[in-house]
Structure 1
Amino acid sequence: MAARASRSRGAVPTKCLRWPMGAERPIILDGGLSNALEDRGHDLSDALWSARLLRDAPAEIAAVHRTYFAAGAMVATTASYQASVRGFAQAGVPEREAERLISSSVRIARDVRDEFGDGRLVAASVGPYGAFLADGSEYRGRYGVPASTLRDFHGPRLELLIDAAPDLLAIETVPDVDEAEVLVELLRELDFPAWFAYSAADGKTRAGQPLADAFAVTAIPQVVAVGINCCDPDDVRTAVATAVAVTWRPAVAYPNSGAVWNAEARAWAGEPADFATLAPAWVASGAAYVGGCCQVGPAQISELAKALDAQHLAK
């Protein structure tokens, strides 16, 4: 893949690069796209997950973006986490149509963003290779494939997403350093801003590598924030502090609700965490981008936004 000339470095609004820590209000992210779509009655049990609705019900994706913005989110994360040309091909979608659908994820979010204005951002979601496998391996990593396979998978869709003109990329739920190294090299070549979030537990990546080592891999100019997502809320504060100490960048944090997935029952169990109470400590530790992942909906994002607004006004 040939390196391209930068068209977007510096295009991310200044407030997106909040530094030094504590100088500005944190950027409120949205919550889980899939659970919000399921709450609207959609079955996302197939391998394409929420990406299927790029083809079947794009207006529903737009409706969820709209709901999160109305709840106080300043960033719409696109429905491209599970979207890839190979994944669509396995569902019988021709290559050109697959490329159009991936690009459309950004257009849908941009159109809704433009309805609201006020400096809102669109982050094009880039899920890990394990999301394409659809076997839970994004929570294990170490796929057993060479770096060239990961590069061939990620490179073309990164270019598709960048060409659709998001404000930045959301590289998310990355389970191990092996995949991170490939993605970081691609970001360097494409010279496009991104936040970078690992899936993590107990101070390590899902593959068991120390988070300090994993964060160090991401310390390139194109990565504007680094942290974790799709994790237990209790893991956030320490991970954020580690990310800031290692990279000297703002952190990004958007954990799951705190409920636990029961694979046998195929259902979430347990009570959600109180994000409004927990999030101020995440911000104090260096989180500049704060939101939610699985099972976090518009109501929790609204509560989170109000709590962080109150914290900011009290300074």
Structure 2
Amino acid sequence: MNDALTRLLAQRSTVVLDGAMATELEKLGVDTSGPLWSALAMRDAPEAVLNVHRAYFAAGADVATTNTYQANQEAYRRAGLSEDESAEMVRIAVRLAIRAREEYEAATGRHGLVAGSIGPYGAYLADGSEYTGAYTLTNKEFRAFHRPRLRLLLEAGVDVLALETMPQGPEIRALLGLLAEDAPDVPAWLSLSVRDDGGALRDGTGLEDVADWSRECPQLRLLGVNCTGMETATTALSLLADLTGLPLVVYPNSGESYDAAAKTWSTSGGNTGLGDNLLARTLPAWEELGARAVGGCCRTTPAQIRALADAVGQAAV
């Protein structure tokens, strides 16, 4: 399948992903404290979302990830939006990312991609369960939950689907089945939420099981891990490297710890002292393990993506 992501992977030694959306929105004065996190920004502050995408492209990112991680129809309806308004939020998110991509290409001649973010059911629950996987739905119920957003992302024109921060086996199986049903010609990546030792999903599902399921999904272009600490991400990549022939994707957090009850981040411990070089410093080790797409997740910044892009450029010379 000669899709846009495959072409980009062929053109770049390492594809540079973007970083955190909510962190940058907060710096611009956008309230992300509610259950929908940053997902109401398409209604309340669309220009801020656009500016975050612009900042990451300006920093050297090859991919803009839509602000739809938590933007599902059930959550919007629970917040009082109509069905039409809920659908429009997803469309706006894609349009903003596409606009930033087009501006970037017009200014630089460098073509980026738009990845449609699909977060787990746990993100809808807004209780931190993307870090536990402690929820249960049937395969049919998982597909019914994810289908509306997936279809809206495709209709709005994303280049690739990003199934990200996935903490449990049954949901992954349902999503891979949904891809085959509803998006058989669309490339995707699958990024996992893993335990602190990096050896299994949050619900205890083994990485070898995920690798087996991934082999049955020809649309997957990348397999990896996100939304975890640097060391855990590296450990998980080292395990996945022995389990899959797919190129790997990695985009860890800044090193801060998240309190799901208080919805706050703390800076005690972790890797926050590495500053702008947080991601760039570990790039060689990740590339050695087979990573072909690298970026940042929660609390990472355009400055860190810029340092990462610079390191990728230097390595490619």
Give the Å deviation of 1:151.
Answer: 1.0
The answer to whether the 8 A contact 1:261-1:269 is kept is no
Which of 206, 213, 217 is the aligned partner of 1:217? 213
The answer to whether the 8 A contact 1:128-1:138 is kept is yes
Comparing 262-271 and 117-126, the one that deviates more: 262-271
In structure 1, the residue matched to 2:46 is: 58
Give the Å deviation of 1:237.
Answer: 2.5
Deviations 1:23-82 (A, max 9, x none): 942000000101111111222011111110011111110000000111111100000000
CA distance in 2, matches of 1:130, 1:13: 27
Q: Does 1:174 align with 2:166?
A: yes
In structure 2, the residue matched to 1:157 is: 149
Q: Does 1:26 align with 2:14?
A: yes
CA distance in 2, matches of 1:283, 1:96: 43
In structure 2, the residue matched to 1:267 is: 265
In structure 2, the residue matched to 1:277 is: 281
In structure 2, the residue matched to 1:207 is: 203
The answer to whether the 8 A contact 1:177-1:217 is kept is no
Which of 241, 253, 256 is the aligned partner of 1:256? 253
Which of 68, 73, 84 is the aligned partner of 1:80? 68
In structure 1, the residue matched to 2:132 is: 140
Query: Structure 2-normalised TM-score?
Result: 0.90
Q: Does 1:42 align with 2:30?
A: yes
Give the Å deviation of 1:245.
Answer: 3.1
Q: Does 1:310 align with 2:314?
A: yes
Amino acid aligned to 1:226: L
SS at match of 2:19: coil
In structure 2, the residue matched to 1:197 is: 191
Deviations 1:231-289 (A, max 9, x none): 11112233223334323111110000112224576332135242211111101111111
In structure 1, the residue matched to 2:236 is: 239
CA distance in 1, matches of 2:30, 2:280: 28
Amino acid aligned to 2:155: D
CA distance in 1, matches of 2:172, 2:38: 23
Comparing 215-224 and 241-250, the one that deviates more: 241-250
CA distance in 1, matches of 2:121, 2:2: 28
CA distance in 1, matches of 2:260, 2:130: 15
Change (3 A) 1:241 1:40: same
CA distance in 1, matches of 2:151, 2:63: 21
CA distance in 2, matches of 1:25, 1:51: 32
SS at match of 1:10: coil
How many residue pairs end up in the alignment?
A: 301
In structure 2, the residue matched to 1:6 is: none
Give the Å deviation of 1:216.
Answer: 2.3
Query: Structure 1-normalised TM-score?
Result: 0.91
Give the Å deviation of 1:141.
Answer: 1.0
SS at match of 1:180: helix
- Structure 1, unpaired ranges of 5+: 1-8
Change (3 A) 1:177 1:77: same
